[in-house]
A = this chain, B = another copy of it.
Amino acid sequence: MTGANSPHHAAALVALDWGTTALRAYLLGADGAVLDSQASPAGIMKLPAGGFDQAFDETCGAWLKRDPALPVIAAGMVGSAQGWMEAPYIETPADASALVNGIVKVKAANGSTVHIVPGVLQAGTMPNVMRGEETQIFGALASDAALDNEPHGALIGLPGTHAKWAFVFKGRIERFYTFMTGETFGALRDHTILGRTMRATERPDSDAFMRGVDTAKDAGHAGMLATIFSTRTLGLTGQLAPEQQSDYLSGLLIGHELRGLNEVLAREQSNLAGKTLRLIGNDALCERYRVALARFGCNDAKTVGEATEHGLYRIAAQAGLVKAAVRASSKE
């Protein structure tokens, strides 16, 4: 990695991805390139009262001592009611300008002004919220022009504890869904009878995973509360080894998530096979989703890299915190 003081890679932005369980900090150049980065376990739920200043200084203090005028931007749960300062949600449909307008500023003890990006709320009787994912989504849009030009909009999935699926169209987040797939999997495995017959294993069993996906897709009409019991009964009847049951259950849940998403699409005369689709997240998890999506006929779900860094840079550029570089400004 090129040093921050290299003349053609002068530091231009400190960008923070500050979530519930971790803080990642990036030092970005004027063109958005990552010059340096820091990872810290100082997620907002792990901080003592007043701990934001200390965590910020420990992570970014050296960069800012060298260049105190560097602008700072942050996204994620740091802007929640439990965060450093609340950045109230902006509502869907939401574009990058709306995010910029919703930025709140907090003055850090070290003299820097931290610009906190708001989350996005989809109001109504089935509300949905995101914090941090909106920034990743705009990062994906910034780095992939094809997404913005989709005539019927594109679909961006962010697998995880609370998986998000966002419908994006002409540079806006139109609406989105949250599937509690990761957290439900953990609760079922660790706190129901299903975990009792499982045996932990180092190596993922892709056959068992696919079997779970296919079961949800082809025999999931009674719903997840019914299909998950087969994790146990396939074991009782000798059809699924204890080492396979965890991956089978994971496949079942991801399969039900995609089945539900496909049902949403079906109501607008579409389906997963016909959508332009991107994934954002860690490689192993995105790969699980890619193979699961292929069972639903979707074979070109690309994973977008560095969506967080790109998103933070893009929003900072649009907010005028960094001089708009060619790559980003061409899109605004």
Contact = CB atoms under 8 A, between A and B. Distances in A.
A261 interface: yes
B259 A229 contact: no
Contact of A228 (B123, B180, B227, B237): B180
B225 A260 contact: yes
A48 interface: no
Nearest to A126: B230
Chain A, interface residues (CB within 8 Å), range: 35 or more
A112 interface: no
A187 interface: yes
A179 B222 CA distance: 9
Interface in A212-227: 215, 219, 221-227
Q: Helix, strand, loop or mixed for chain A's interface?
A: helix
Given A183-B192, A191-B190, A127 B237 contact: yes
A219 B127 CA distance: 12
A178 interface: yes
Interface string A128-159: 11000000000000000000000000000000
A110 interface: no
A127 B230 CA distance: 6
Nearest to A259: B223
Nearest to A232: B129
Contact of A226 (B179, B187, B215, B226): B179
Residue of A181, A215, A229 with most chain B CB atoms under a 10 A cut-off: A229
Given A126-B215, A192-B184, A177 B257 contact: no
Contacts of A127: 230, 233-234, 236-237, 239
Interface string A21-40: 00000000000000000000
Contact of A225 (B194, B236, B253): B253
Given A183-B193, A236-B127, A221 B178 contact: no
8 contacts: A121-B237, A123-B237, A126-B227, A178-B229, A180-B226, A183-B192, A184-B228, A226-B257
